[in-house]
Structure 1
Amino acid sequence: MEKYSQYRDRGTGIAPFIPITTQTSALHLPLAAVLFALRAPVLLTISLSYFLFLQFMPLGSLFQKGILWICMLVAGVFWVDLQVEGVKRGTLSRHPDKLPSPGSIIASTFTSPLDALYLSATFDPIFLVPSFDTPYVFQLSLLQTILYTFSPPTSKPYSTKPTTISEVLSKNPHRIIVIFPEGTTSNGRALLRFSPALDTFATQYKQSRENGHASDVGIPKNKIFPISLRYLPANTTTPLPGSYGVFLWRLLSQPSHNIKVRIGEAVKISELEMADDMLLATSSSETITEKTVARNLPTDERVPRTGALEEKVGEILVRVGRIRRVGLGVKEKIGFWNAWKAQGRKLKK
């Protein structure tokens, strides 16, 4: 892997685009083959039935969520370890405000097709994927989001119409919105550099405040929930495009999979606006010690500093997911993917 050293984060040494491989013993191969042979036809049948027919039928959200959970069970996802920041185990029912609700935004890590499947089975959200070089996002269906995890990074997935987070919220006030701010998948060992969409969302609030229309776009009341998803075994991530066969083999040949879900404390732009004196910019690839001091303005005139929302969400994801933040993003992944293809590397099972 020496030839890919330029795609390691300089501060941490983490290589977020190299696929994770695990050693498989010769004794395990027969069991793995049997599990794959039994699960693959069942999962294929249920998936095709859902995406071709059932999702378009008026069966209700609960029924459709149930089908997705069945898909996860067939794939071997038998346990979801859910923890909510600031809530003790067994007391979650007393804190409904700690969970995403209609009108909320989920900022999720992005490592595997299971991300979209789990979030859809749990929250029935609208999925947004940001452009890495523009402030826009693209609204995708569940199937498009799953397929996007296997696609090369692009600024315009599936030729869908670009939009903004606030536009999607205004058109769907009773739905939960999921955005993957990294814009592309990693191997789950680090949090990538965010695309501009979240910062644009905060900027729009700033502009609406200046124009006196902040309440019209509904931004102050929308909570942003950072959610970290990690998997055991960790080799079900898809940092490389086109790894359909490898992913399915790793998913269906393992006896079981666990998902660690960590929901961070909700963030509100109006609270960022009131976050008083200092905001410290952070980056793991180069240490920044300079603090940005907010302007000494009256409380009702303060607006979020540029990048404040992105930094706050990133800080929470790093904390609850127990990972490091790196200075690499979609552009670096494009370079890595081109270098990987040039070397003619083949994925290992």
Structure 2
Amino acid sequence: MSPSENAQLIDLETLVARNPKRYVVVFPECTTSNGRGILPLSPSLLSASPRTKVFPVSVRYTAADITTPIPHTYFTFLWNLCSKPTHCIRTRIAEYVYNPGNRSSIARATALDPLDNSSEAETLVEQDESDVTPTRDEKAFLDKIAEALARLGRVKRVSLGVKEKQEFVAMWTKTKKR
């Protein structure tokens, strides 16, 4: 899965520079979970400027059975959503952290995109592969954010990424057809 040819990709530093008086919200897990774990974070956060405060924010919906639907369960999801008399959203905000360095570029963000299952992104990167791999400081930055989100949400970190979620949905869909 990769952006369309007409997509105008932009890194976080440029987005913040264009909108200096706005807040920018990023969902770094790249996909939704069932609210019981923090998925691996996207390296796209590494394109934030070192001067930008990054606030990990946990958002939890209650009742707990209202989670992102699996394909072909949309009616059950809508029933669970609409049958509740009230909904509550709990928001917790952690202390801000700064990106340890900034090697941002649109090509870098694309090359590190966990949604991209093709090798097309490699052709967009003009740097060698060692420049694309996150440094130890960058990994620590992402880990600090993930740990803060896990602590705020009172959940564990899980290693299931976008690819594993796609495989699960494909298997789920195949099983439901039988």
Flag whether TM exceeds 0.5 (same fold). Answer: yes
Equivalent residue, structure 2, for 1:317:
149
- Aligned 1:1-349 pairs, distance under 5 A: 154-156=1-3, 160-199=7-46, 201=47, 219-241=49-71, 243-269=73-99, 272=100, 305-344=137-176
Equivalent residue, structure 2, for 1:69:
none
CA distance in 2, matches of 1:155, 1:183: 13
Task: Tell me the secondary structure at the aligned position of residue 25 of structure 2.
Answer: strand
Q: TM-score, normalised by structure 2?
A: 0.71
CA distance in 2, matches of 1:259, 1:232: 6
CA distance in 2, matches of 1:162, 1:240: 28
| Contact 1:228–1:263, Cα closer than 8 Å, also in 2 | yes
- Root mean square deviation of aligned Cα: 2.5
Deviations 1:49-85 (A, max 9, x none): xxxxxxxxxxxxxxxxxxxxxxxxxxxxxxxxxxxxx
CA distance in 2, matches of 1:313, 1:305: 13
Q: TM-score, normalised by structure 1?
A: 0.38
Which structure has the bigger radius of gyration? Answer: 1
CA distance in 2, matches of 1:186, 1:155: 21
Aligned residues: 144
CA distance in 1, matches of 2:54, 2:77: 30
Task: Tell me the secondary structure at the aligned position of residue 70 of structure 2.
Answer: coil
CA distance in 2, matches of 1:241, 1:160: 26
Deviations 1:94-129 (A, max 9, x none): xxxxxxxxxxxxxxxxxxxxxxxxxxxxxxxxxxxx
| Contact 1:190–1:326, Cα closer than 8 Å, also in 2 | yes
CA distance in 2, matches of 1:321, 1:311: 15
Unaligned runs of 5+ in 1: 1-153, 203-218, 274-302
Q: Which has the higher helix share?
A: 1
Q: Which has the higher strand share?
A: 1
* Higher RCO (CA < 8 A, seq sep 6+): 2
Unaligned runs of 5+ in 2: 102-134
